[in-house]
């Protein structure tokens, strides 16, 4: 089963990724943008990812998304709609929280039998 975790920013005019079967708003997670030393990094940067993923809100959000997908993705794939399940993971700008979480989710699902998972960071290069 192929899962495409697409990080994105709600502030960009493209909005939610086209064709997404699941969309998770991760703006509740602690925001590295508000830390001066992390503002100009992104969720692929080790310190930024750690800041996001090791916070209580980051752990809770990661656990909730992964649990939901483990339960719902097999049934969604069984409907036969498309070659992949697209999972949108959105924050404000698509640089920090959504990137860190999409990357972590893709890495985790890639290790599970029967899953082919990738992270796509749609808005990472946008201002």
Q: Locate all alpha helices (DSSP H) within the chain, ordered by sequence.
A: 46-53, 56-78, 97-110
- For residue 92, tell me if it sits in a domain: yes
Rounded to whole angstroms, the Cα distance separating 93 from 123 reads: 7
- Domains in the chain, number: 1
CB-based contact 80:109 (threshold 8 Å) = no
- For residue 115, tell me if it sits in a domain: yes
What is the reported pLDDT for 81? 61
Mean pLDDT (the chain) is: 95
- For residue 5, tell me if it sits in a domain: no
What domain range includes position 73? 20-121
Instruction: Provide mean pLDDT across the span 43-52.
Output: 98
CB-based contact 6:20 (threshold 8 Å) = yes
Phi-psi region of 57 (alpha: psi -120 to 50; beta: other; left: phi over 0): alpha
- For residue 87, tell me if it sits in a domain: yes
- For residue 8, tell me if it sits in a domain: no
Q: For residue range 52-84, list pLDDT tens digits in order.
A: 999 999 999 999 999 999 999 888 876 766 679
Is the pTM of the predicted complex or chain greater than 0.85? yes
What is the reported pLDDT for 80? 66
């Amino acid at each position: 089963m192929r899962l495409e975790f697409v990080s994105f920013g709600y502030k960009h005019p493209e909005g939610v990724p086209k064709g997404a079967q699941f969309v998770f708003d991760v703006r509740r997670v602690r925001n590295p943008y508000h830390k001066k030393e992390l503002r100009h990094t992104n969720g692929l940067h080790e310190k930024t990812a750690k800041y996001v993923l090791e916070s209580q809100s980051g752990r809770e959000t990661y656990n909730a998304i992964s649990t939901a997908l483990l339960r719902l993705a097999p049934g969604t794939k069984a409907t036969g709609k498309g070659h992949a399940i697209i999972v949108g993971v959105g924050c404000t700008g698509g640089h920090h929280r959504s990137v860190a979480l999409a990357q972590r989710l893709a890495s985790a699902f890639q290790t599970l039998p029967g899953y082919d998972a990738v992270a796509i960071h749609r808005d990472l290069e946008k201002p």
